[in-house]
Structure 1
Amino acid sequence: MTTAARPSPKDVDPLALPDVLRPAIEARRTEIESQRRLPSELVATLRASGAFRIFTPREYGGFESSLTDMVTVLEAIGRIDASVVWTMWNGNLGFFAVWLRDAGVATIWDAHPDPIIVNSTRLTGSATPAENGYTLSGRWDIVTGVDAADWIALFALVPPPGGSDDSEHPEVRVFCVPRDAVTVLDTWHVGGMRGTGSNSVVVDQLFVPAEMTNDVFAPFRIDRPLYRIPAFTLASTGGAGAVLGIARAAVDEIVELAGTKVTEIGTPLGHGEHVQDAIGRAEAALRSARLLLFAATGTIDDAAAAGAPITEAMRAELRAAMSNAGEISRIVLTSMYELGGSSSLYTGNRVEQLFRDGLAGTQHGILGRAQFALAGRVRLGLDPQSPIF
């Protein structure tokens, strides 16, 4: 594994990233919304801080943080800005440095010592084997952070040899392609998460060298705790922490509003029993969802540290905890929006934006109700019925 001329790990503890980045993020909030993407200056600040190197191996200047630490960081960033946290989540694929072949790693890291790799897990592409690689075609929607990216990891199906045996399933592969090799469609005209720049990308008969692709279930090429966790588990978990952080920020805003807003009978909003009840329920719900999520990530981290198997049951419990985080966040966001009354209607009001952004985040499929059913199937001893579990 080539490691020459790599940046050294940052002096800052990755858990301190939210405090380090807060001023830069808050200063750009209006631009993030209006530009429908992260401003280039903010991307540069995030990159320089190591915000996209949380899962990158130490040899490549990364933090090589645990799964739990990643979720902790994203939860805290979610309390600051939803579009930033969503972009950070989707752009933390630094583990590709020990997942792709050496030649592919050199192609990426030699071009930029601190690359940003974003992804789309939508299985809307197809690929066929070619000499020394594959030919890739397809359209992938909602590619968060595509404008900030150096590389894009696209999921696609490769049909079985011959294509006629119904007993064989298509292979799921990840194809890592340079940002300038795709056509970006300006499709991200939305209500929530406006600043993520989650546009669509298209490729048509693009040749991808063999070293730039991998089976989605391929193991890592290095044996250390973080890299004993399946790649898809690493890549998919952060969104649950992000939506909990967004929902927590909405509670923070309503608590502040409750001390200053006066009701129609002249009393502070926070003196109303229904407000107190809603805040108390929101606090309990968020804390319980957080505890469940961190228990699931902690179980996986502990198993990885001990060199024990990361079982289907562990991953299913994590999926259920992630979906629970999405469900609870949706409930809390709606409750806080209602408590804000007419104040929640106005653009520029933090609750209005958090409501839009948070509900958009909870729409992500990895946080959806279908993941509860997946967990139930595993608990019943049935096939999880997911190509990317």
Structure 2
Amino acid sequence: MSHEVLDNIIAMAEDLRARADEAESLGRLPDDMAKGIRHAGTMRMLARKEYGGFEAHPRDFAQVVMKTGSIYGSAGWVSGIVGVHPWQLAFADPKVQEEVLGSDSDTWQASPYMPGGVAVPVEGGYVLSGRWQFSSGTDHCDWIFLGAMVGDKNGIPIMPPQSLHVIMPRADYSIIEDSWDVVGLRGTGSKDIVVTEQFIPDYRVMDGGKVIDGTAAEEYGVTETLYKMPWSTMFPLGITSATIGIAEGVLAAGVAYQRERVGATGTAIKDDPYTLHALGEAAAEIDASRQQVLTNVDRMWDRIEAGETITFEQRAEGRRNQTRAAWRAVRAADEIFDRSGGNALRMDNPLQRFWRDAHAGLHHAIHVSSIPYHSSALSSLGADPQGTLRIMI
């Protein structure tokens, strides 16, 4: 089925390109574009077979997201972020799995995981309030994962902090319609979410720390390799794959644009050794980024298949590699764009949109390099990073 999903996305390519301007204007994916992606099967790739999912190898998921991003960046971004949520849902309470996917295996789930709210414990669950930014694809989602901190009776986060991942139906939160006006990834509709004193039953709440360190999946008793994969490999995978796919879009659009172009000096680009060198080097860097992300996934998968327990050092190494791959790809995209002349800036040139989207993708928190680099280096020296050095690892 994974190859069929990829074929479905490729078959949609012309329509995705043709509708990109409409999505940019709307500030979200058009309804029929989202419907096409839904029918392609991307969002079911990581879902349980029990609920119509494919339980695909995450490498296959990453390649579908990359291809989608290389065609239209915002479509790839939404596919990568929304598409990874069924993976986490697979080791949530069975009752909430049934609520979300029991009647419709194509039900989309949004996020974000940033701790934008405070959950106050009450009998049978929590009362949640807060505001969250960057809920990509949220207009097309009927459920959401939201990050929150446990609070005291006054709504003040307790110390030391305790993070939660809360799962909520669309009726229990509000989307702020005018909250997504940005320079890149305009079509993702990554709007703000507001929750006001909403009761959340216990079975719809996951311990955030246990999700990230793998304890949640272990306690759920999963046996499939897919659901034993680290959160710090899987959640960033959709985001980084989309960003690399967008960089591949920069490359493809740049090559197409340069094919018949004559530079400012009157020299055809085909005869300009400096530009050709830059294009060749950038293409190699983008491909290296792609291969590093895919190899990263394969390495984790193979360790789990072999019965190994993934260590914090290995998780930090994976995040280091994933983050570096994104930065390498976008920096290579800059080399392409910077040598494309003034007409690359025109809004009717798709090259500028890919370039804007690539940089927007690099601004996601998962691509901040400081903690993964620091933690990976420290771990390699035999230390055990603590506190903030374990965030999202």
Q: Does residue 141 of structure 2 align to residue 174 of structure 1?
A: no
User: CA separation of 1:61/1:254 partners in 2, compared to 1, >3 Å: closer, same or farther?
Assistant: same
Secondary structure, aligned partner of 1:13: helix
Find the aligned partners of 1:205 and 1:244 in 2 and give their Cα distance.
Answer: 39
The 8 Å contact of residues 333 and 359 in structure 1, kept in 2 or not, is answered as no
Find the aligned partners of 1:288 and 1:313 in 2 and give their Cα distance.
Answer: 23
The 8 Å contact of residues 79 and 238 in structure 2, kept in 1 or not, is answered as no
User: CA separation of 1:314/1:208 partners in 2, compared to 1, >3 Å: closer, same or farther?
Assistant: same
Q: Does residue 55 of structure 2 align to residue 64 of structure 1?
A: yes
Q: Does residue 273 of structure 2 align to residue 273 of structure 1?
A: yes
Find the aligned partners of 2:156 and 2:102 in 1 and give their Cα distance.
Answer: 41
Question: What residue is the counterpart of 2:380 in the other structure?
Answer: 379
Question: What residue is the counterpart of 2:365 in the other structure?
Answer: 365
User: Aligned partner of 1:207: which letter?
Assistant: F
The 8 Å contact of residues 299 and 314 in structure 1, kept in 2 or not, is answered as no
Find the aligned partners of 1:249 and 1:366 in 2 and give their Cα distance.
Answer: 21
* Greater share of residues in helix: 2
The 8 Å contact of residues 74 and 89 in structure 1, kept in 2 or not, is answered as yes
Find the aligned partners of 2:12 and 2:22 in 1 and give their Cα distance.
Answer: 16
Question: What residue is the counterpart of 2:74 in the other structure?
Answer: 83
The 8 Å contact of residues 127 and 135 in structure 1, kept in 2 or not, is answered as yes
Farther off after superposition, 304-313 or 49-58:
304-313
C-alpha displacement at 1:12, in angstroms? Answer: 5.7
The 8 Å contact of residues 193 and 357 in structure 1, kept in 2 or not, is answered as yes
User: CA separation of 1:12/1:24 partners in 2, compared to 1, >3 Å: closer, same or farther?
Assistant: farther
User: CA separation of 1:173/1:12 partners in 2, compared to 1, >3 Å: closer, same or farther?
Assistant: same
Q: Deviations over 1:87-118 (max 9, x none)?
A: 11111211244222121112112353321001
Q: Does residue 23 of structure 2 align to residue 48 of structure 1?
A: no
Find the aligned partners of 1:25 and 1:162 in 2 and give their Cα distance.
Answer: 48
The 8 Å contact of residues 71 and 241 in structure 1, kept in 2 or not, is answered as yes
Question: What residue is the counterpart of 1:329 in the other structure?
Answer: 329
Q: Structure 1 vs Structure 2: percent identity of aligned residues?
A: 27
Secondary structure, aligned partner of 1:52: helix
C-alpha displacement at 1:162, in angstroms? Answer: 12
User: CA separation of 1:162/1:299 partners in 2, compared to 1, >3 Å: closer, same or farther?
Assistant: farther
The 8 Å contact of residues 289 and 328 in structure 2, kept in 1 or not, is answered as yes
Q: Deviations over 1:284-330 (max 9, x none)?
A: 22222223222221110111222321222222121111211221122
C-alpha displacement at 1:374, in angstroms? Answer: 2.9
Q: Deviations over 1:209-231 (max 9, x none)?
A: 11111112211442111011134
Question: What residue is the counterpart of 1:3 in the other structure?
Answer: none
The 8 Å contact of residues 243 and 325 in structure 1, kept in 2 or not, is answered as no
TM-score, length-scaled by structure 1: 0.91
User: Aligned partner of 2:119: which letter?
Assistant: A
Q: Does residue 226 of structure 2 align to residue 211 of structure 1?
A: no
Find the aligned partners of 2:205 and 2:16 in 1 and give their Cα distance.
Answer: 34
The 8 Å contact of residues 98 and 221 in structure 1, kept in 2 or not, is answered as no
Q: Does residue 185 of structure 2 align to residue 193 of structure 1?
A: yes
C-alpha displacement at 1:232, in angstroms? Answer: 4.6
Find the aligned partners of 2:37 and 2:157 in 1 and give their Cα distance.
Answer: 48
User: Aligned partner of 1:295: which letter?
Assistant: T
Find the aligned partners of 2:153 and 2:91 in 1 and give their Cα distance.
Answer: 25
Question: What residue is the counterpart of 2:94 in the other structure?
Answer: 102
Matched pairs, number: 379
C-alpha displacement at 1:188, in angstroms? Answer: 0.5
Find the aligned partners of 1:164 and 1:120 in 2 and give their Cα distance.
Answer: 21
Farther off after superposition, 209-218 or 227-236:
227-236
State how 1:93-172 maps to structure 2 within 5 Å. 93-159=85-151, 169-172=160-163
C-alpha displacement at 1:194, in angstroms? Answer: 0.3
User: Aligned partner of 1:27: which letter?
Assistant: A
Farther off after superposition, 231-240 or 43-52:
231-240
The 8 Å contact of residues 330 and 362 in structure 2, kept in 1 or not, is answered as yes
Find the aligned partners of 1:46 and 1:105 in 2 and give their Cα distance.
Answer: 22
Secondary structure, aligned partner of 2:163: strand
C-alpha displacement at 1:130, in angstroms? Answer: 1.3
Question: What residue is the counterpart of 1:6 in the other structure?
Answer: none
Gaps of 5+ in 1: 1-9
Gaps of 5+ in 2: 211-215
Question: What residue is the counterpart of 2:9 in the other structure?
Answer: 18
Secondary structure, aligned partner of 2:112: strand
Farther off after superposition, 156-165 or 371-380:
156-165
C-alpha displacement at 1:264, in angstroms? Answer: 3.3
The 8 Å contact of residues 187 and 200 in structure 1, kept in 2 or not, is answered as yes
C-alpha displacement at 1:13, in angstroms? Answer: 3.0
Find the aligned partners of 1:348 and 1:180 in 2 and give their Cα distance.
Answer: 39
TM-score, length-scaled by structure 2: 0.90
Root-mean-square deviation over aligned CA pairs: 2.3
